[in-house]
Chain A
Amino acid sequence: RKEVEQDPGPFNVPEGATVAFNCTYSNSASQSFFWYRQDCRKEPKLLMSVYSSGNEDGRFTAQLNRASQYISLLIRDSKLSDSATYLCVVPERTGTASKLTFGTGTRLQVTL
Chain B
Amino acid sequence: ETGVTQTPRHLVMGMTNKKSLKCEQHLGHNAMYWYKQSAKKPLELMFVYNFKEQTENNSVPSRFSPECPNSSHLFLHLHTLQPEDSALYLCASSLLQGTYNSPLHFGNGTRLTVT
Residues of A within 8 A of B (CB): 4, 8, 31-32, 34, 41-46, 49, 51, 87, 89, 91, 93, 96-105
Docked complex Cα distance between A46 and B4 (Å) = 14
CB pair B55 A43 closer than 8 Å: no
B108 CB contact (under 8 Å) in A4, A43, A91, A101: A43
B100 CB contact (under 8 Å) in A45, A98, A105: A98
Assign chain B's interface to a size class. 20 to 34
Q: Known: A97-B50, A98-B97, A105-B42. Is A49-B56 also a contact (CB below 8 A)? A: no
List A contacts of B97 (CB < 8 A).
97-98
Report B18-72 residues with CB < 8 Å from chain A CB.
40-43, 45, 48, 50, 55-56
